[in-house]
Amino acid sequence: MPATELADGALILIGGTLLLTPGFVTDIAGLVCVLPFTRPIARRALARVISRQLTATMTGNGPAGTRGGGSRGGAHGSTPPSAGDVVPGQVVDNDT
């Protein structure tokens, strides 16, 4: 099934990135993603995470605006930026 090969490719990419990132924990996580005998465990975990995200997105139960579910200041019914998000400034015209 092509989904297995696609998931393996994604895990190898993620594992390689984790191996390049400094740190003991990231090296262990990268090895789990890259090694052939531990990849099925990581593949099941990846499938579980993706299905949970898709289910939350499709049912509308996911938190809006926290994981890419919405955009700030867009026309998607999101709240306008608060006064703390506005930076006062001046426009200087240099075309004189």
The string of pLDDT tens digits covering residues 6-38 is: 999 999 999 999 999 999 999 999 999 999 999
Dihedral, CA atoms, 27, 33, 38, 39, nearest 10 degrees?
A: -170
- Position 50 in a domain: yes
Question: What is residue 42's DSSP assignment?
Answer: H
In the chain, how many domains are there?
Answer: 1
Q: Are 15 and 34 in contact (CB under 8 A)?
A: yes
Mean pLDDT within 40-68: 80
- Position 21 in a domain: yes
Question: Is residue 55 predicted with pLDDT exceeding 60?
Answer: yes
Mean pLDDT within 67-85: 55
3-state helix, strand, coil in the chain (%, to 5): 55, 0, 45
Q: Are 72 and 81 in contact (CB under 8 A)?
A: yes
Q: Which domain holds residue 17?
A: 1-58
- Position 14 in a domain: yes
Q: Which residues have a Cβ under 8 Å from the Cβ of 64 and sit 6 or more positions away?
A: 70, 78
Supply the pLDDT for residue 45: 92
